[in-house]
Amino acid sequence: MHELGIANSVLEAVQAEALRHPGAHVVKVGVRVGELAGVNPDSLAFGFEALTRGTEWERLALDVETCPRRHRCLACQTTFRVVDALFACPGCGAAQTECIGGDELELAFLEMEEP
């Protein structure tokens, strides 16, 4: 389950950020996961919970935002969400489109409480 490794990276990023804000308490971390990233959001949440249970990070909430696959039309530059593997442009019908999103795997936000 590589989601556990990702959960660990997320926690490390939170810890690094917390060090930069002495006294502040990180209450929530948001992660953006594209549907092409090959990450199961449920597994990630589960792994994160397993990782923080019984530690000082136990009450840290994880918010996973999934990002849909997006394409851009090479002919008219329309960007659109790909649904049911339909890659043709909904604007002009062109078949030549390129993938521009959906493989995200990044921190979206940190929510902190100042004492």
Tell me the C-alpha distance between 112 and 42, whole Å. 24
**CB 102 → Zn ion: shortest distance, Å?**
18
**CB 76 → Zn ion: shortest distance, Å?**
3
**CB 81 → Zn ion: shortest distance, Å?**
14
Please tell me whether residue 94 binds Zn ion under the rule CB under 5 A.
yes
User: Considering only 1-9, 14-22, 27-35, 94-102, which stretch makes contact with Zn ion by CB under 5 A?
Assistant: 94-102
Q: Is 108 exposed, middle or buried (0-12, 13-18, 19+ CB in 10 A)?
A: middle
For residues 45-64, which are near Zn ion according to CB under 5 A? Answer: none
Total of residues contacting Zn ion (CB under 5 A): 8
Tell me the C-alpha distance between 53 and 55, whole Å. 5
Task: Give, in order, the Cα–Cα distances in Å from 51 to each of 5, 60, 65, 70.
Answer: 10, 11, 19, 32
Residue whose CB is less far from Zn ion, 1 or 94: 94
Beta pairing partners, 111: 28
For residues 64-93, which are near Zn ion according to CB under 5 A? Answer: 73, 75-76, 78, 89, 91-92
**Token pair for residue 72?**
């851009």
Query: What residues make contact with Zn ion under the rule CB under 5 A?
Result: 73, 75-76, 78, 89, 91-92, 94
